[in-house]
Amino acid sequence: MKQHKLGNSDIDVSVICLGTMTWGEQNSETDAFEQMDYATAHGVNFFDTAELYAIPPRAETYGATERIIGNWFRKTGKRHDIVLASKVCGPTGWCPHIRGGKARLDATNIIAACEDSLRRLQTDYIDLYQVHWPDRNTNFFGKLGYAAEDDAGAIPIEETLEALNLLVQQGKVRHIGISNETPWGAMQYLHLAATKPLPRIVSIQNPYSLLNRSFEIGLAEVSWREQAGLLAYSPLAFGTLSGKYLHGAKPADGRITLFPAYTRYTNPQGVAATAAYVELAHKHGLDPAQMALAFVCSRPFLTAAIIGATSMQQLADNIASMDLALSDELLDSIEMIHTTYPNPCP
């Protein structure tokens, strides 16, 4: 398994990161243990979770994924073999079960969230602690355009960074990262770290796939020049790039079948682009999902692609995509499709 440095740190992480958000909802603890065992046996040393998980978020499953990982650490004794990433929620007015719906990115909330995550994970440190989404009003979670809004009450990024710095100083967090951020937000974090005694971000976890390459518009250069590599989430666009939802198909165990409110990758343009990418993969004798993952992992600004699987076959196929090298001809064809359907699913 190929590895990359995590930002400017001394940590090496596998290019495939094991995503975990289905554990505790679509997957049982037994399923999750099997996934972790298989992934680590095949060179994966990087796990990503969050206090928010399992997904979709609800009170009954809040923190379930972290608890499952903690139980696996206790059973296997492999905590020190894993680079562990987790996240603190931004404002949670839409999640009333998380700190009474009043979570913010201030010291009180960040420290409380980290302490709770450490207990669930049964560890005394988190390798990469990430801000899950910004406190201010901006475009993330599928919003491509920016609409100026009054956010005078937003927690300043400096205050958030100072709280994260306290956790780093206490040894509870080794490095910090951001998620669902914009170029402006990323540069604010970097500027503060350059001008004050505050920790530097080592990663940016944003969506990136054949259906959403908006990261390339502004963040890719930031990521490359500032050594804050992309942790690409949804590299298969909720599984749509496998082609399994084309022609109105609704596989019984599919995420979009089970949770139809998740429509980010199923608009008409996205479906048309998916069909074109699937046809291209078949033309070259490739599995569409493996082609999509191989493309993401070939990007120079990428640190790791976060894969999620609900079956062992999906997991094995996703990990095996690391053996796939895409030809220049195929990459040219991908660019032609992208020109026809640019970022259809932001």
> Active site includes 277?
no
Identify the bridge partners of residue 201 per DSSP, sorted by sequence position: 176
- Asked whether residue 337 is assigned to any structural domain, the reply reads no
Q: Rounded to the nearest 5°, which phi and psi values hold at 25?
A: -130, -75
Which pLDDT score, from 0 to 100, does residue 144 have? 76
Other beta carbons within 10 Å of 97? 14
- Asked whether residue 130 is assigned to any structural domain, the reply reads yes
For residue 162, the domain's CATH number is 3.20.20.100
Which pLDDT score, from 0 to 100, does residue 292 have? 98
How far is Cα 146 from Cα 148, in angstroms, rounded to an integer? 6
Which pLDDT score, from 0 to 100, does residue 40 have? 98
Q: How many structural domains compose the chain?
A: 1
Considering all CA atoms of the chain, what is the largest pairwise distance in Å, rounded to the nearest integer?
A: 55
- Residue 108 tokens read as 């009180």
User: pLDDT under 50 in the chain at which residues?
Assistant: none
Which pLDDT score, from 0 to 100, does residue 39 have? 98
DSSP string, 23-64: BTTTB-HHHHHHHHHHHHHTT--EEE--TT-SSS--GGGTTH
- Asked whether residue 184 is assigned to any structural domain, the reply reads yes
Tell me how many degrees the CA angle 107-57-158 measures, rounded to the nearest 5. 20
- Asked whether residue 345 is assigned to any structural domain, the reply reads no
- Asked whether residue 205 is assigned to any structural domain, the reply reads yes
- Residue 151 tokens read as 């956010």
Q: Is 169 exposed, middle or buried (0-12, 13-18, 19+ CB in 10 A)?
A: exposed
Q: Could you say which of 38, 53, 129, 146 is catalytic?
A: 53
How far is Cα 72 from Cα 67, in angstroms, rounded to an integer? 9
Number of alpha carbons in the 13 Å side-chain half-sphere of residue 294: 22
Question: Could you tell me which residues come within 8 angstroms of residue 38 by beta carbon, excluding any fewer than 6 positions away?
Answer: 312, 315, 316, 319
Domain interval for residue 128: 3-241+290-325
- Asked whether residue 225 is assigned to any structural domain, the reply reads yes
How far is Cα 61 from Cα 59, in angstroms, rounded to an integer? 6
- Asked whether residue 101 is assigned to any structural domain, the reply reads yes
Number of alpha carbons in the 13 Å side-chain half-sphere of residue 106: 9
**DSSP three-state, residue 105:** coil
Which pLDDT score, from 0 to 100, does residue 147 have? 82
- Asked whether residue 257 is assigned to any structural domain, the reply reads no
Q: Pick the closest to residue 176 from 72, 85, 247, 306 (CA basis).
A: 85
Which pLDDT score, from 0 to 100, does residue 146 have? 84
